[in-house]
Amino acid sequence: MDIVYIRELEVETVIGIYDWEREIRQTVSLDLEMGTDINAAASTEDIDNTLNYKSVSDRLIDFISESEFLLVETMAQQIADIVMNEFGVRWLRLRLGKPGAVPTARDVGVIIERGERF
């Protein structure tokens, strides 16, 4: 299995359980590792034969910026569903952080892994 990744993708969104959080936009940060096979892309040098990280990034930016969530757990699961269902990814690991949520921590959040490694 090969991995296509995206690191530190930052998106502004409405996230949080407190009333004040529902009235502002906050930054979430994500790292995404997606299991794939790069052999076809490597042998043809054709972008249509690869998992296009720009397409994945653009889709997630649109989704996250237009959504509102109470919990990072819900957002993480929906991101995983999009990546797996729309881009044919069979395995992924996602770190979704909410920087600044805890004043004395640089970042807090969740890491989820979905699917089976192949």
Q: Which residues are marked as active site?
A: 98
Sheet of strand 109-115: strand arrangement: 68-69, 2-15, 26-36, 91-97, 109-115
Rounded CA-CA distance 44/49 in Å is: 8
Rounded CA-CA distance 46/39 in Å is: 11
Question: Phi/psi of residue 15, each to 5°?
Answer: -150, 130
